[in-house]
A and B are shown apart, each in its own frame.
Chain A
Amino acid sequence: MNRIIHLISKILRLIILKINYGSGSTIPGHIALRINKNILHWYVKDLKEGVILITGTNGKTTTTHLIKEGLEGLGKKVVFSTTGANLENGIISSFINFLPFFAKKKYDYGVFEVDELNLKIITKNVEPLAIVFLNLSRDQLDRYAELEVIFNSWKESIKNLTNTKIYLYKNDKRLNNLTGKNISTFTNNFKSSSKLLGEFNNINLSASFSVLLDIFPNFKKDILKTLEDFNPVFGRGEKFIYNKNELTFLLNKNPASFNENLKLIIDLSPVYPQEINIVTIGLNNNIADGKDISWIYDVSTDLINILDKSISRWVCLGTRYIDIANRLKYAGIKEEKVVLINSYQGFKEYVETFENKRFWILPTYTSMLTMRSIFKDSRLGKSIKK
């Protein structure tokens, strides 16, 4: 039965791609789930080893790709989401995409980032090899209700797991209240070099290193090499060169990541004179960004003011550009340093009026998608495997 569902879903996916009805990263899985709500269990059983799940407020995508590349670096075949779809239907869609029509046991591992509130749904059906909990902080509360709701659902998710290894970030106070079997912790003590900017990425690197080393204790060197060579993914530190300007994308989706991004630019800015640094904040409030933008006031006013000393302009962009401008005003930023641009095309033209500047671009999720596509031909480094 499940083989037939898989076949149908695979054909459906091809049709979706053929008629250009989306990327096929959620709908096939959605249909497969409709027919058999336990289908994920069947897919996971088709893996030789099992699945590794990554969840948390920030760092999911990067950590997922780090672990995936670590495994691939050791010659393992990995199923993962190429689009970052992180609900159950997205994970199933990834299996539909990767697994051939009639294959059996072709892949070793599945590595997936999981939406915070979807973890519970997935572990009901599947016993993962490992779950990584990165952190828990405020994120889009209009969708996710309150932190304790997430925490309680995480507790619930791991309650009945017997063999799964649980990895917790030690310095997150809330996470440390998760209890159960097979729990180990990681910190932010990754000491090797890395191409990933920012202290927060150290957490992602340390987590990935712990997980990979536990599975392959004899391959420390190879694991380190992959992690060191890892390139930023999908708007998380990616660089673009446009009209001789350097554009660095730093995804900015909640107060925690906003503060981390401000710290990161502060740390790097002594290297550059004030004149060449321009910070652009892209604030959209589509569903994927969170409809409510109140959180911009949870961002540290002190950090905004410290950064202000090392940059020449603040550019406000996105569906809620005026809100960012007002936020900056009440943080005490001088109005003459603030530039309002109400369209993304307008921003591209704005960048064209400069040369040799460093644009630090802090977009919310959908703002990042739009800007990535606007500057897509100017991206540095290797492209993401799709």
Chain B
Amino acid sequence: MNKVKLSWFYPQELNLYGDKGNVEILKQRCEWRGIDFELVEVGKETEKDKYFDSNLVFMGGGPDSEQSLIYEDLIQNKKEFLESYYLNKGVGLFICGAYQLLGKYYELADGNKISGLGLFDIYTKSPGVRDKRFVGNVVGDIVNKDVADLCQKNYGFKNIIGFENHGGRTFFLQQYEPFLYLNTGYGNNGEDKQEGLVSNNFICSYLHGPILHLNFHLADVLIARALGININNLKQLNNKVERLTHKINQNLFKS
């Protein structure tokens, strides 16, 4: 199938920090290559038959109040789809709040726990009001060897840059492959230099920026995987501005 069908979950509620830019970037990079692109905005009312055949899923983060608005719908109406989509190696990008919601639970400052989808055996803990949020620039290397090698070979680099802004600290209860190993930034919990999580074809990360704006190579990784083809077989694009965006900011972020 030479078509990307992207389902964007909760665009109304989870659209903080310009993350919708990721959707614009995926759309353009498909259309510039002549790949058909269909966007489905999945909200609370959206029926499953609209999105069951997606080959790419994106979900961003939102403010706490908005996250609580979609929470019930996510658990009751979307869990089954996301679970089977994940197990069948569907491709997905989950940023910040969406990443946290895929875990077992989110522990509030007062010790109360909100359960998540439980797709991953991980949890996130609020630092309370006393500890600071993790805010700032991030530079890290892609941990997954296959993806790192592909990026190195096709684009000449294998790092990811971005901007993190989160209070929650995320910890793994069993072993998962992190998305990045950090040179700069706090990452999952500020302790282990790890950022995000990769499992099957799901990529979870705290990075805004938006992440695909700063890392066009990651957009191509997602598109190639959604189409089930090797990244070498994607049509070459003129990436002059994208390369500069990555390179100039990488130097800014490191310093």
Contact = CB atoms under 8 A, between A and B. Distances in A.
Interface in B119-153: 133, 135-137
Given A297-B18, A327-B213, A335-B241, A291 B136 contact: yes
B61 to A, nearest CB: 10
A294 B19 contact: yes
Contacts of A182: none
* Dominant secondary structure of chain B at its interface with chain A: helix
Interface residues of A, number: 28
A326 interface: yes
A161 interface: no
A322 B248 CA distance: 8
Interface in A285-315: 291-298, 301
B24 A148 contact: no
Contacts of B133: 145
Nearest to A338: B241
A339 interface: no
Nearest to B248: A322
A319 interface: yes
A330 B135 contact: no
A365 B249 CA distance: 20
B208 A330 contact: no
B244 A146 contact: no
A18 B20 CA distance: 50
A228 interface: no
A141 B17 contact: yes
A268 interface: no
A91 B19 CA distance: 36
A332 interface: yes
B213 A330 contact: yes
Nearest to A299: B18
Contacts of B249: 320, 322-323
A329 interface: yes
B82 interface: no
Interface size class of B (residues with CB under 8 A): 20 to 34
B45 interface: no
Given A319-B252, A329-B241, A297 B210 contact: yes
Interface in B158-213: 163, 165, 208-210, 213
B63 interface: yes
Contacts of A301: 24
Contacts of A296: 18, 21
Given A291-B136, A330-B21, A142 B165 contact: yes
B163 A292 contact: yes
Contacts of A17: none
Interface string A134-146: 0000100110011
A148 B65 CA distance: 7
A298 B18 CA distance: 5
B80 interface: no
B63 A323 contact: no
B17 A326 contact: no
Contacts of B208: 292, 294
By CB atoms of chain A within 10 A, which of B15, B209, B210 has the most?
B210
B234 interface: no
Contacts of A175: none
Interface in A110-143: 138, 141-142
Contacts of B40: none
Contact of A141 (B64, B137, B165, B252): B165
Given A330-B25, A330-B213, A294 B242 contact: no
Interface of B: 15-21, 24-25, 28, 63-65, 133, 135-137, 163, 165, 208-210, 213, 241-242, 244-245, 248-249, 252
- Which 7 A-B pairs give the minimum distances between C-beta atoms? A297-B21, A294-B18, A297-B18, A146-B63, A326-B245, A294-B208, A292-B163
Interface of A: 138, 141-142, 145-148, 291-298, 301, 319-320, 322-323, 325-327, 329-332, 335
Given A292-B208, A298-B18, 19 more contacts: A141-B16, A145-B133, A148-B63, A291-B135, A292-B17, A292-B163, A293-B209, A294-B21, A294-B208, A294-B209, A297-B18, A297-B24, A320-B249, A322-B241, A322-B249, A325-B241, A325-B244, A330-B24, A331-B24
